[in-house]
Amino acid sequence: MAAKLSSGGGGRYEEQQNSEINVTPFVDVMLVLLIIFMVAAPLASVTVKVQLPPAVAPPGTNPPKPVYISIQPNGSIFIQDFRTDLATLGDDLRKNLGNTRNPEKERIFIRADKDVLYGDFMGVMNMLQDNNFYSVALVGEDK
């Protein structure tokens, strides 16, 4: 915004506002962008002609629902949300998996409270190995 102060007599000032928008920088920027896109567009396209085969991929199968074993500080063991004990852990885990999933290839996620005794945790690990569940993942909290 500009104002014109006249140097007239008597201390009177006339103010005029310049309300015209200067579009020259806008036009300059747009022309530069136009030139850049005109030069870059042919470089982005492939000029070698190739007849591609159709891509027919079979639909992917959803991964199976993960199985979680939770161990509470008092030694209580849960498969998903169902309580179990150490003696029946293998059988209950097989029931939870069903007949379609192979225990030797199934990954079992173990969630243990930070105050769980090491002996309780190792009891669960040993019971899993005794029942042919060899793929075990430990779940921790990210900070």
> Residue 5 has what pLDDT?
57
Closest by CA to 90, choosing from 139, 126, 119, is: 126
> Residue 22 has what pLDDT?
84
How far does Cα 118 stand from its chain's mean position?
Answer: 33
> Residue 9 has what pLDDT?
54
> Residue 35 has what pLDDT?
92
- CA–CA separation, 32 vs 48, rounded Å? 29
> Which tokens hold the place of 38?
């005109």
* Beta-sheet strands, E only, within 21-106: 67-71, 77-79, 82-84
Q: pTM of the entire structure?
A: 0.55
> Residue 46 has what pLDDT?
67
Closest by CA to 71, choosing from 4, 141, 5, 119, is: 119
3-state secondary structure of 16: coil
pLDDT in tens, the chain (143 residues): 555 555 555 556 667 777 778 888 899 999 999 999 888 887 777 667 777 777 777 777 777 788 899 999 998 999 989 999 999 998 999 888 887 777 778 889 999 998 999 999 999 999 999 988 888 998 888 77
Residue type, position 15, single letter: E
Q: Alpha helix locations (H) across the chain? A: 24-44, 89-97, 118-130
Do the beta carbons of residue 5 and residue 16 sit within 8 Å?
no
